[in-house]
Structure 1
Amino acid sequence: MLKIYLVSLMIFLLLICISSTITIYKIVRKNLYIINNNLSHSKKNIQVEKVLELAKIYIHQKRWLSCIIILEKNVTTKDKFVAIYYNNIGFCYYSLKIYTLSEYYYHKAFQEKPADIVTLCNLGQVYKKNKKYKQAITMYQKVLQLENSNHIAQKELKILLKT
């Protein structure tokens, strides 16, 4: 009986060790990627894909200010991904509950790409947070004009029209 207990305990502890090792490996891999890219910041702007990948990691880790810095440093008006940069910066400020700056960057993303559904939904959400209900309704209506089956816009529009 004691042997079964000890074997069970060993298997359980082995599974915990494996799980911990995998988690630590993932963290180390992400941090090495961040460190390698931070070293290349001293050079010229890093490639767009790397910037967006690094921003994605920072967002996943909820390192909002680091994400904002890397995106603002690398945003250029000539870049075709500028709307994505602005959208991500807006998301970071939204996550920090700085809704006025979030609105500013979402609006810049909207100026770059006015038919982007994600940007329109984000603008609608931040307008709602800033109690600009008419503008939020307008954004959600634009979403429905582009994609009439968008459930998020339908739901938010119903809520806003009730207020």
Structure 2
Amino acid sequence: MVFMFQLYLVFIILFLIPLCYLVTNEIVKLLFENRLSKSLIPLGRSQKLTKEQVLSLAKIYIRKKQWLSCILMLEFYAKIDNSNLGEYYNSIGFCYQLIDFNLLAKDYYSQARAFSPSNILFLKNLAKVYWLCNNLQDSLSTYKQILELDPQNKIALDNINILIKKIKKTF
């Protein structure tokens, strides 16, 4: 009887340790993000934030699913900081994609690509949203453009094969 109780305690402890670790990790992450956002927001009102600070704050808004705050902040900084328009537009497109406004996401990803046509991340996002909008030909050509820049890109290689099969089925 005592052995069964000890075995029960061991199993409970083995289950609770990883659970405690995961919960603690999330609490630490939330505290860090909260502290970072509280330190950046007043700073943004009195002086211009750096690109890294803006994108960090955008990540926090995205994690908290505060889409409008994220989009408005990025739009504001896109107007006052012309040197990072591609990254800002890509992040805005990502927000729209997360809330299933894929046509708007496509527009912003296209604008991001216009500012940096060789940025593979921008191209991947654009190809994915073309696919989500059922624009398979444009998605295929964008993935081919990625392969021109990075011939070993596994995501592009895999998706090109899938897209070719899908396009053949439709004809």
TM-score normalized by the length of structure 1: 0.82
- The structure carrying a bigger helix percent of its residues is 2
Q: Equivalent residue for 2:51?
A: 48
**Unmatched 5+ stretches in structure 2:** none
Q: Equivalent residue for 2:31?
A: 28
Pairing 1:130–2:137 present: no
Instruction: Tell me the amino acid that sits aligned with residue 73 of structure 1.
Output: F
Instruction: Tell me the amino acid that sits aligned with residue 144 of structure 1.
Output: L
Total equivalences in the alignment = 159
Pairing 1:155–2:155 present: no
State the shift of 1:22 in Å: 5.3
State the shift of 1:60 in Å: 3.0
Provide the aligned C-alpha RMSD in A: 2.6
CA deviations over 1:68-127 (Å, ceiling 9, x no partner): 122111114753322111111111110110001100100000100011111111111111
The separation in 2 between residues aligned to 1:122 and 1:41, in whole angstroms, is 28
SS at match of 1:81: helix
SS at match of 1:97: coil
Q: Equivalent residue for 1:112?
A: 115
The separation in 2 between residues aligned to 1:148 and 1:136, in whole angstroms, is 17
Q: Equivalent residue for 1:81?
A: 84
Instruction: Tell me the amino acid that sits aligned with residue 104 of structure 2.
Output: L
**Unmatched 5+ stretches in structure 1:** none
TM-score normalized by the length of structure 2: 0.78
